[in-house]
Amino acid sequence: MAEGVDFESLVARHYEPLYQFAFSLTRDESDACDLTQQTFCIWAAKGHQLRDVSKVKTWLFTTLHREFLGSRRRQTRFPHIELDQAAAELPVVSPAAVNRLDTAQVLEALARLDEIFRAPVALFYLQDYSYNEISEILAVPLGTVKSRLARGLERLHQLLADNAPGAQPQSLQT
């Protein structure tokens, strides 16, 4: 039972990745702090309902994402995009060129993605979550996660290629 989870240990273990996820969604330190804190407040109130302690981390990320969506008051239903609809064109930017960008520039590119692509891409890079775990956190089917990742990564790489100094956009196709 999650009742036995010590609050301070829980915070110590998870606040950093949660903040990083929150910041990647909001790009605002204050908003990200609020979201992180709110997530732990909800845990303090409802965490005892969680029976499977192994799900704590997923629960926290799910809650943070829900709070983020709630704060944005988005009511539009997200479109389902099939994987095979994703464009195969990928602008290629070299690892060295990406390395010359700083984290702020990468997050700026992330922020320019449509909101439905932002969270899966952030979870993909930040936490190394599996596709199934991302699907669980975001409450969307696995196929949709993969399609959103494919589209999101394609767009992110395109934006990075545009911003990277000296990068020559190329096509994925050869």
Partner 1 sequence: MNRDEAKSILLLYRPGTTDADDPQIAEALALAKRDPELARWLEEHSSRQEVLRAKFRQIAVPAGLKEQIISEQAVFLKRYGRRERIVVVAAVAVTVVSLIALTPFWLAHRRPMADNSLAGFENSMVRVALAGPYYMDLTTNDPVKIRDFLAQRQAPADYVLPAGLQKAAVTGCAIEGWQNTKATMICFRTGKPLPPGEQGDLWLFVVDRASLKDAPPPGPPKIAAVNRLITAVWTQGDKVYLLGTEGDAQAIGLFL
Query: Rounded to a whole number, what is the distance in angstroms from the first to the last CA of the chain?
Result: 53
**Residue type for 82, please?**
E
List binders of partner 1 among 31-60 (CB under 8 A). Answer: 33, 36-37, 40-41, 44, 49-52, 55, 58-59
Element spanning 71, H or E: helix 56-72
**Residue type for 126, please?**
L
DSSP H helices in 73-173: 95-100, 103-111, 115-126, 131-138, 142-163
| Complex with partner 1: residue 51 or 73, whichever CB lies closer | 51
- Binding string, 78-117, against partner 1, x = CB under 8 A? --------x-x-x-xxxx--xx-xxx--xx----------
Contact present, 142 and 132 (Cβ < 8 Å): yes
Residues forming contacts to partner 1 in the complex (CB under 8 A) are 7-8, 11-12, 15-16, 19-20, 23-24, 29, 33, 36-37, 40-41, 44, 49-52, 55, 58-59, 62, 86, 88, 90, 92-95, 98-99, 101-103, 106-107, 122, 124-126, 128, 130-131, 136-141, 146, 149-150, 153-154, 157, 172-174
